[in-house]
């Protein structure tokens, strides 16, 4: 009875406060209210996944039984690439979760690191695996511009020069010695150690056609069954699209386009 009276008193107090100060206790978000807010600002808003503990539809029981962003019974470091690209961040962490749960053997790799935003997420979620970071660390290699089959202006201009190894390592803040920069033009930068590796997860974010094609040719034979290659910019950069489409005509892979900001595609080795 005391609990019921206390609950009713709190409820009445909130109603009074809300009446005079409606902004203090806003209504719970619904699909309709979010859609109205997005429409008012001329944009779209992405709901958080139900496994996110702050989601309105979060089920702690489901997460306890099956795991959420982390494998069951584990707590992994959860990261974000950019506030405006939650889909991509969630996708990368859940794919890493898959290789952990399924015990897919191999290292991690990223081709096209820029300043290390996505590399930080990958390394901190999965610090126990070697993580090779391939980049010129000085922007596009000019020799790759001439190899673009379809020129669109933005893929003929030097970009991503605002970086170097020091900046990348400061962004990543490595937890151990497993984050390994490989400096130079790919694939000439590949070392004998890397050539002998197997991989469980690869993030290809090279944008241009030649390095994307070279990345697929190098990593796919070394990818463990059950592993993933994520090619970023499949639905935004012509070189990434053409390299992947050509690769899929010659190789058997499960290919799943994603709806992140730049339209990644996930290639799974069966």
Domain positions in the chain: 76-268
Separation CA 17–CA 250 (nearest Å)? 66
Minimal CA–CA distance to 206: which of 140, 268, 151? 140
Helix (H) or strand (E) holding 91: helix 86-101
**CATH architecture assignment, domain 76-268:** 3-Layer(aba) Sandwich (3.40)
Separation CA 113–CA 181 (nearest Å)? 9
What does the block give as tokens for 201?
């997860």
Q: Give, for all 270 residues of the chain, the pLDDT tens digit.
A: 444 566 677 767 767 776 776 666 566 666 677 777 778 878 777 778 999 998 888 999 999 999 999 999 999 999 999 767 889 999 999 999 999 999 999 999 999 999 999 999 999 999 999 999 999 999 998 888 888 888 888 777 888 899 999 999 999 999 999 999 999 999 999 999 999 999 999 999 999 999 999 999 999 999 999 999 999 999 998 999 999 999 999 999 999 999 999 999 999 999
């Amino acid at each position: 009875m005391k609990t019921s009276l206390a609950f009713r008193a709190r409820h009445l107090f909130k109603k009074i406060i809300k009446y005079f100060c409606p902004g203090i206790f806003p209504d719970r978000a619904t699909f309709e209210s979010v859609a109205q807010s997005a429409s008012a600002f001329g944009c779209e808003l992405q709901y958080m996944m139900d496994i996110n503990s702050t989601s309105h539809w979060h089920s702690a029981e489901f997460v306890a039984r099956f795991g959420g962003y982390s494998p069951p019974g584990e707590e992994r470091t959860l990261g974000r690439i950019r506030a405006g690209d939650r889909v991509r961040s969630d996708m990368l962490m859940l794919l890493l979760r898959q290789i952990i749960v399924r015990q897919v053997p191999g290292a991690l790799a990223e081709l096209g690191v820029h300043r290390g935003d996505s590399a930080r997420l990958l390394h901190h979620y999965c610090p126990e695996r070697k993580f090779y970071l391939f980049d010129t660390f000085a922007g596009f290699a000019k020799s790759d511009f001439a190899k673009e089959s379809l020129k669109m202006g933005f893929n003929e201009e030097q970009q991503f020069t605002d970086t170097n190894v020091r900046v990348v390592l400061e962004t990543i803040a490595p937890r151990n010695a497993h984050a390994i920069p490989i400096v130079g033009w790919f694939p000439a930068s590949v070392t004998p150690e890397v050539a002998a590796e197997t991989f469980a997860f690869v993030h290809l974010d090279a944008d241009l056609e030649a390095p994307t094609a070279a990345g697929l040719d190098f990593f796919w034979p070394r990818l463990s069954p059950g592993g993933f290659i994520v090619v970023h910019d499949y639905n935004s950069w012509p070189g990434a699209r053409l390299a992947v489409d050509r690769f899929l005509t010659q190789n058997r892979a499960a290919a799943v386009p994603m709806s992140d900001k730049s339209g990644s595609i996930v290639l799974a080795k069966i």
